[in-house]
Amino acid sequence: MDAQTLVRYLTPRLPAYLHELTELCGIECPSESKVGVDVAGAWVLDWAASRHWEVRQWPDASAGTTIALTLHGTGTARIILAAHLDTVYPVGIAAERPVRIDGNILYGPGSADNKSGLLSGLYAMAALQDLGALDTFAAITLICGGDEETDMRVSRQCFADLAAHHDLALVLEAGRENGDIVSARKGGGNFWFTVTGKAAHAGVEPHKGANAIVELAHHSIALHALNGMRPGATLNVGVVNGGTVSNSVPDQAQAKIDVRITDPADRQAVTDAILAIGARTTVAGTSTVVSGGISTPAMACTPQIARLATVAKECAEQLGFSINDAHTGGMSYANYFAELGLPVLDGLGPVGGNDHSPGEYILVDSIVPRTALLAMLMTKA
């Protein structure tokens, strides 16, 4: 697909894109509002119906319905695009902070995370369809998830159903603020340490007590020492509580620990090291229960992913700009596609940032080139 042909197709459609992005960002669709997420899904279904794309749905009693739109061609390549419908903003924020454009910056709740990426997926598919460029593809499937900002439970079922029938995945989270795409993401999860001790009067007979907070302090120091036990592995004791009053030896204490890994192979080793700390007793009379675990798999930059990133860079050069690929600590749909064995790139939406905040934005002048990049990458991946 010729770069300039794509740009010529997309450029006059930018006003329509901005109008539709304004509509999408105006839909109140926090993850906890199934009704709202399904309204956003209905908007997407209307868009796809006009083009007669195949539709599959994964309904759920509490989460928003996950939708897959498939465009069929005459070739062999099978590509998944993935974006999400839900946002983190409570009902009322979309009305309170409607989309506004200030120069080259479009502000709006969900604009970067992930409404612009979703819309760019629709526009890239439409471009390939309208320009007669489907001879490379057996199928392009755009997944629109309804629960990405929570447990991804329904989305992940959709991924499991579709991954075996596709060759690679392109995730449409916003490009990094410097324009980078993402070729690796840390995996991770949360562990909880719950320490039980024995209460006693701190002034009269402290020797009869077993201080749960002191035991938890020993655990916390040991956990912190695990940072870097594997390249890129991080542990953070982020939330701690315990005790009731200062003149009583505390008989309970809890901590929540954030854990991140860069290599899927490190998952068991890091987990085992954390469990070993929980099994040790420093303060006599205390006991510790460890729960939780590493729930999100790491997306490592495999040779296949590195090749995809190289192709994306070459496409960007043909479109007149440059990109790099980055490794990041955040988690997204890309982690789960990697776990399912698909080569995957992320950060292929328009350039934006300040996700989950009043200043969330995208750069207007990135919309056409990044959507063209997505379409062109599909033809060459």
**Which residues partner with 293 through β-bridges?**
190
Sheet holding 77-84, edge to edge: 54-58, 66-72, 137-145, 77-84, 168-171, 344-345
pLDDT score of 181: 98
Average pLDDT of the chain is 97
Which amino acid is residue 213, in one-letter code? I
Contact between 288 and 281 under an 8 Å Cβ cutoff? The reply is yes
Three-state SS at 275? helix
pLDDT band (50, 70, 90) for residue 279: very high
The whole-number average pLDDT for the span 154-176 is: 97
For 3-185+299-380, CATH number? 3.40.630.10
Q: Report the alpha-carbon distance of residue 19 to residue 53 in Å, rounded.
A: 22
Q: Report the alpha-carbon distance of residue 131 to residue 173 in Å, rounded.
A: 25
Q: Is the backbone of residue 147 left (phi > 0), alpha (psi -120 to 50) or beta?
A: alpha
Sign of CA dihedral 134, 299, 318, 176: positive
pLDDT score of 238: 97
Q: Where are the domains of the chain?
A: 3-185+299-380, 187-296
pLDDT score of 1: 78
Query: Full-prediction pTM beyond 0.85?
Result: yes
The whole-number average pLDDT for the span 64-90 is: 97
Sign of CA dihedral 248, 251, 252, 253: positive
CATH 3.10.105.10 given to domain 187-296: no
The whole-number average pLDDT for the span 355-364 is: 97
Strand-pair category, 349-353 with 174-175: parallel
Contact between 246 and 202 under an 8 Å Cβ cutoff? The reply is yes
Per-residue CA distances from 191 to 41, 223, 236, 268, 302 (Å): 34, 11, 10, 14, 28
pLDDT score of 209: 98
